[in-house]
Amino acid sequence: MMGPQSEAVALNIGSRALNEIAYFSSEEVELAGHTVRAARLSYVGEAGWEITCRAEHSRDIYNAISAVGICPAGLLAQTSMRIEKRYLAYGHELDADISPVEVGLDFAVDMSKEFIGKGALQEKVEVGAENRVVSIVLDDNEGVPLGNEPVLYDGKIVGKTTSATFGFRINAPLALADILVPECRIDGTSVDINIAGTHFSGRIITGAAFDPKGQRMRAKK
């Protein structure tokens, strides 16, 4: 249950306890007369909760939420919003051959502990990754990539898109891309994406294209 009105919705369905959950934590709360596990985190960049319940309680909970105006958004909407936020997905930006350094997740690795592959990862931390994942916002709304398109800089291929969508919050097509050339990985750098043989220009953003500081998903009104 996500969106800018999520706090008001929680009050309308009689679950004030949802609003008391701290960001990036989870608690058991009552919702529609049932105990659920609610996690206050976001894969779409909006305030809200991921709610887990027993299967037999799901209809009651869905009906209670729907009664106050919440509507299903769908997987394509979720995907669009996670790309706007530069959130990574397994099979796109992440796989068994990608290290945390290359996707900017090395901050989440505890290098004081021993683990398989630590030496190789330490080398990447010290030397730096050859490639990095960035956001690219296109200039032309007619050019909507699908993913796995070549990215060109000064006429040469420097990487490929990994996920792509139309971003409805930024009102522009955008993609996440794996870029190999360091001089391209600078905010504002102009690149082209080859979409089915047509080159569409865009600009690189090293962080998220939407709400880069993550204020919306942490907001409490």
- Examine the pLDDT at 24 and tell me if it is beyond 60: yes
The most confident of 62-71, 119-128, 171-180, by mean pLDDT:
171-180
Note whether 47 and 6 are within 8 A (CB).
yes
- Examine the pLDDT at 13 and tell me if it is beyond 70: yes
Distance CA 31, CA 58 (A): 10
Report pLDDT for 218: 87
Q: What's the mean pLDDT in 188-193? A: 98
Cα-Cα-Cα-Cα dihedral of 176, 90, 158, 79, to 10°? Answer: -20
All domains of the chain, ordered by start, with CATH?
A: 6-72 (no CATH), 87-205 (2.40.30.110)
Residues with Cβ within 8 Å of 26's Cβ and at least 6 positions away in sequence, in order, are 37, 38, 39, 40
In this prediction, residue 220 has a pLDDT band, given cuts at 50, 70 and 90, of low
Cα-Cα-Cα-Cα dihedral of 115, 121, 123, 127, to 10°? Answer: -160
Residues with Cβ within 8 Å of 107's Cβ and at least 6 positions away in sequence, in order, are none
Report pLDDT for 53: 97
Report pLDDT for 134: 96
3-state secondary structure of 171: coil
Both structure tokens of 127? 């030397």
Note whether 204 and 189 are within 8 A (CB).
yes
Distance CA 206, CA 208 (A): 7
Pairing status of strand 50-52 against strand 132-138: unpaired
Distance CA 207, CA 84 (A): 10
pLDDT digits (tens, 9 = 90+) for 147-169: 999 999 999 999 999 999 999 99
What is the pTM for the complete model shown?
Answer: 0.90
Q: 193: how many CB neighbours lie within 10 A of its CB?
A: 25
